[in-house]
Amino acid sequence: MSAELDGLVAVVTGGASGIGFATASQLRERGANVAVLDRAIDTIPTGAVGIVCDVGVRASVDSAIDEVARQLGGIDIVVNNVGISSIGTIEDADDDEWARVLDINVISMARVTAAALPWLRRSPAASVINLSSVAALNGLPQRAVYSATKGAVMSLTFAMAADHIADGIRINCVRPATVATAFVERMLQNFPDPAAERAALDARQATGRMVTPEEVADAIAFLASPRSGSITGTALDIDGGMTHLRPRAVQQTH
């Protein structure tokens, strides 16, 4: 397995926790040299290079990408993983909230990829993977702003793929359902009955459980690999059947 990504350099934003940590670890296991870009780099995977970066600030992104190329000799893979949540309807979100979430969830992906393009164009195996969500296709209550941004990530991915196919750069996205990360677990603790809320999240997937970070990381590693060389402009669902199958809870009551 290690030979699959040997000699390739991967950048993972938000790689110090959750899906990003699992992805950086998986890419390392498959032989890639990995740079984690995050606001804090105390908990990055063993063997990865940590670079402090705020993806919401162009100067920080440009500096971090330059440092990756300087330390590791180039860039072949970019995983745009950073994202933030937003809870509520359109009545609950003011203009500042829209701007905040759009900037981190969508514009930062364009910001990071644009900074990496000069290096990606030189790579014989260039690949970009953006983190979208099942919220892009499924109407989830109380997630208006978040869903809008994840739909934008999907559309942005398709447009980027069309723009850069002539450069030899493959660009795809993944659409996970709710992932059982430490962040989700902390969020659940804010509810009066965390166990009931966890069960409800599990039940949304036809498989009856939340997705694991490692499952998302495996899908990202596949799209990053030259083995997926004919795949570009694609969205891959890692959702336990949430989008196209009826959830188990619904099946049991109808």
CA distance 161 to 127: 10
- What is the CA angle 124-125-128, rounded to 5? 135
Query: In this model, does residue 21 exceed pLDDT 50?
Result: yes
Pair 80, 128: CB distance under 8 Å: yes
Per domain, the residue ranges of the chain are: 2-180+210-243
Annotated active-site residue in 28, 81, 101, 146: 146
Which fold is adopted by the domain 2-180+210-243?
Rossmann fold (3.40.50)
Whether this prediction's pTM lies above 0.85 is answered by yes
Per-residue pLDDT band for 248 (boundaries 50, 70, 90) equals: low
- pLDDT tens digits for 172-230? 999 999 888 877 877 778 888 888 888 888 888 889 898 999 999 999 999 999 999 99
- pLDDT tens digits for 35-93? 999 999 999 999 999 999 999 999 999 999 999 999 999 999 999 999 999 999 999 99
- For the four alpha carbons of 123, 153, 48 and 219, in that order, the dihedral sign comes to negative
CA distance 122 to 224: 16
Q: Catalytic annotation on 36?
A: no
Residue carrying structure tokens 């109380």: 142
